[in-house]
Amino acid sequence: MYNFEYKNPVKILFGKGQIAKLKDELPAGTKILMLYGGGSIFKNGVYNQVTEALTGFDVVEFGGIEPNPTYETSMEAVKVVKRENIGFLLSVGGGSVLDATKFIAAASLYEEGDPRDFLKPGKDKVPVQKALPLGSVLTLPATGSEMNGNSVISIRETTEKLAFGSLHVMPKFSVLDPETIFSLPDKQVANGVVDAFVHVIEQYLTFPVDSPLQDRQAEAVLLTLIEEGPKVLANRKDYNASANFMWSATIALNGLLGVGVPQDWATHGIGHELTAYHGIDHARTLAIVLPALMDVKRKQKEAKLLQYGERVWNIREGSVDERIDQAIRKTVEFFESVGIPTRLPDYGVTMDTIERIEKRFAARGTKLGERYDIDAAETRKILEKQL
């Protein structure tokens, strides 16, 4: 096992009716900016629950944060924060609203330069030193953003999708009420299941470092997503299935699965490019990239691919390559069974985009994967598999 540091002070309030507790979690005497997205919270009753809980607080609203939230929209919110003298940010929505809220929290207190500094790839990245406090009411299990300090922001101007992370932007609290997902469309449930699934895989499917507890805990989340995801899709009002899915998505990326082990975030790194160029839903880009990455890196990941196949899919027969093929096939079948296609032509992506990504990664000197050996050329190879 590797050495590690871990700290996660996010307070979780989980279960039906917990939105009412907001009033005990928010700081008194502070002006609050409530941020949300395209308006689904008006349809599912969450807006009403939240505003009721906020009775007596001084609240300003900022709506219209888009999926794959942008730097440009976030900077509009920063203007509101400054103009209105906001002291606390409350994200009400899914991972996109929350990621934007994290960026806004940091950008609002950054006077030293352009907040895009936080997003720069590689060693040019400027670390966040301070941020406004924030909390969240989650309405879409997927990103795990509710219990970590990560955020992904798109820059419209440059067609880039970039990540940053900081302890300073961890939510003070996150309210997770499984009933808020009863009205989600199938597509968003499926995206959430796949996003959470791939988060686990990226902390698990690398090479063995004798970490049996982390391995088993990762497999626990994978098995639960495989079991509960389809239940939620089949019956959106199944409270326990929704709760198990929601909690699995949080555990998938609250950092605990990844302590002391190598990690491989190449699927996210490559997937972000497909979103940047084509606006493909984040989870769908992961479903495209992951099976191809498993295939291309089958030698390097052999031991963990076999373990994954055996413990998650019960694959015990055949040669090493046959078992790995089966594990990849099972993964693809799972993604497709929840309605997510895994090939580039399904999304209208052609060789042209692959070449643009290759060129961009070459210019950036990108090196992804647990051994930092997935460069521009190998990224091309991975994407070509899905043409």
Of positions 2, 55, 112, 352, contacts a second copy by CB under 8 A: 2
Residue 166 and residue 4 in contact, taking contact as beta carbons nearer than 8 Å: no
Nearest-approach distance from CB 265 to a second copy, in angstroms: 21
Distance, in Å, from the CA atom of 149 to the CA atom of 147, rounded to the nearest integer, reads 7
Side-chain half-sphere CA neighbours of 91 within 13 A: 36
Among 123, 251, 354, 379, binds a second copy (CB under 8 A): 251
Q: Please state, in angstroms and rounded to a whole number, the distance separating the CA atoms of residues 350 and 290.
A: 18
Residue from the set 59, 75, 256, 362 that interacts with a second copy by CB under 8 A = 256
Chain centroid to CA 205: 17
Residue 161 is inside which H or E element, if any? strand 160-165
Region 3-22 residues binding a second copy, contact defined as CB under 8 A: 3-18
Residue 327 in 3-state DSSP?
helix
Query: Shortest distance, CB of residue 20 to a second copy, whole angstroms?
Result: 12
Q: Please, which residue, 159 or 240, has the CB nearer to a second copy?
A: 240
CB of 381 to a second copy, least distance (A): 34
The gap between the terminal CA atoms of the chain, to the nearest Å, is 38
Q: Which of 193, 221, 276, 332 binds a second copy (CB under 8 A)?
A: 221
Residue 174 CA: distances (Å) to CA of 25, 141, 249, 252: 10, 12, 13, 15
- Compute how many residues bind a second copy; rule: CB under 8 A: 40
Question: Where does this chain touch a second copy (CB under 8 A) — which range of 221-229, 266-274, 279-287, 335-343?
Answer: 221-229
**CA separation for the pair 109, 118 (Å, rounded):** 12
3-state secondary structure of 120: coil
Q: How far is the CB of 101 from a second copy (least distance, A)?
A: 20
129: contact with a second copy by CB under 8 A: no
Q: Provide, rounded to whole angstroms, the least separation between the CB of residue 7 and a second copy.
A: 4
CB closer to a second copy, 6 vs 42: 6
Strand partners, 90: 34, 135
Residues that bind a second copy (CB under 8 A): 1-18, 210-213, 216-217, 219-221, 223-224, 227-228, 240, 243-244, 247-248, 251, 256, 259-260
